[in-house]
Amino acid sequence: MIIDLPSSNTSAVNRKLVELRESGGVFALGRVLTLVVVTDDGPDLEKSIDAANQASREHPCRVIVLARGQRKAAARLDAQIRVGGDAGASEVIVLRGYGALAEGDAGAGMVMPLLLPDAPVVAWWPGEAPASPAEDAVGQLAQRRITDALAAKNPTKAFEQRRKDHHEGDTDLVWTRLTHWRAQLAAAMDVPPFEDVTAAVVAGEAVSPSSELMAGWLSAALGIKVKRSTVEGKAAQGLALVRLTRPSGTIELVRPDGKTAKLTQPGQPERRIALARREVPDCLAEELRRLDPDEVYHEALTGVGQITRGRTPVKVDG
């Protein structure tokens, strides 16, 4: 069910939510958090709402979407409430602000009256994010702040901003996309012989924040210099190869097509692993599982400053 409240205000939205609870049994007693989605009112808005809905099936929540409209228009708030089949396991409140309500601290002012009492707040910027999310007005309301450098107009610049302006509670979906890679590499290292890694290479597309972060994580975890290289050809997508060298041989995890990876290691048969690039709803759901600071992510960001650059592209075979 979708209820439109044109030219409205947050008080009217709250009254409508109370009315829905009393008349139709729609209530927020089982909600575990409030997810605030900050984006622009454009073609990608529904994709962001759909991702939040899918994540809410694992984490029932109230979703508040700040959809920033035209800045030059007259100040106006158009609200929309979605419940039932149109809201997954959540209740979705879409706030379309125009004019002064689409800028500055106005978004935080509209969000505050709609936050669930005594429930954690998570802020998510699915596209462009502020340079320092923790200092943003909406970010200051949240225990966790989720960004996505890969979705920015300039992923490299956005990733560097995440490195320079990291605060406790910040995270980025660039990091979440590495979870399965990190699990496979950790499992490969957790079998005899237990030897130190003497050299490491990470290869991916020229613009690949995930490749940068993987190299940073390995550098911080292993205490060695990690070489960050690009890959030959156009088949590889994002992160394509991790090669760890030990005295007994090399562990190599390579994904040439963005879907299936090949793991080779000394004394073990070659294995094929399903390692498709993760979708945003899956990554978002994972990030909502924890509300404490991600210290390993911070260490990986720090480790990026210790990596070296390879001049020769690495060839990746299927």
The residue from 93, 125, 147 where one domain ends is 147
Same domain, 201 and 83: no
Cα 242 to chain centroid, rounded? 22
Q: What is the pLDDT of residue 292?
A: 92
Does 281 map to a domain? yes
Can you name the residues that pair with 83 across neighbouring β-strands?
Answer: none
Q: Please say if the pLDDT value at position 299 is more than 80.
A: yes
Q: What are the tens digits of pLDDT across the range 211-226?
A: 999 999 999 999 999 9
Residues 126 and 187 reside in one and the same domain: no
In a domain, 162, yes or no: no
Q: Pairing mode, if any, of strands 76-82 and 2-5? A: antiparallel
Q: Indicate if the pLDDT at residue 29 is higher than 60.
A: no
Place of tokens 């299936």: 260
CA torsion sign, 252 to 222 to 217 to 314? negative
Answer whether residue 165 is part of any domain.
no
What is the model's pLDDT at position 89? 65
Same domain, 188 and 130: no
What CATH number should be reported for the domain holding residue 15? 3.40.50
- Name the residue with higher pLDDT: 258 or 286: 286
Task: Note whether 303 and 225 are within 8 A (CB).
Answer: no
What residues are paired with 243 via a beta bridge?
201, 252
pLDDT of 318 reads: 60
Instruction: Indicate whether 158 belongs to any domain.
Output: no
Distance CA 173, CA 247 (A): 34
Does 112 lie in the same domain as 50? Answer: yes
**pLDDT tens-place string over residues 103-159:** 878 899 999 999 998 899 999 999 999 999 999 999 999 999 999 999 999 999 999
The answer as to whether 317 is a domain residue is no
Same domain, 134 and 191: no
Residues contacting 234, CB < 8 A, separation 6+? none
Which residue, 99, 126, 147, sits at the end of a domain?
147
Instruction: Say if residue 225 is in the same domain as residue 115.
Output: no
Examine the domain organization and report whether 139 and 257 are in the same domain. no
Are the CB atoms for 75 and 61 separated by under 8 Å? no
Read off the pTM.
0.93
Evaluate whether 29 touches 61 at the Cβ level (below 8 Å).
no
Give domain status of residue 262, yes or no: yes
In single-letter form, the type of residue at position 69 comes to: G
Considering the domain architecture, whether residues 238 and 122 belong to the same structural domain is answered as no
Which of residues 147, 162, 196 is at a domain's end?
147
Which residues span the domain enclosing 125?
A: 2-147
194 plus 236 within the same structural domain? yes
Residue 164 within a domain = no
pLDDT at 193 over 60: yes
Mark whether 303 and 219 lie in a shared domain: yes
Domain count, the chain: 2
Mark whether 128 and 208 lie in a shared domain. no
- In this structure, the answer to whether residues 187 and 292 fall within a common structural domain is yes
Residue 85 has pLDDT above 90, yes or no: no
Q: Is 284 part of any domain?
A: yes
- Tell me the average pLDDT across 76-88: 84
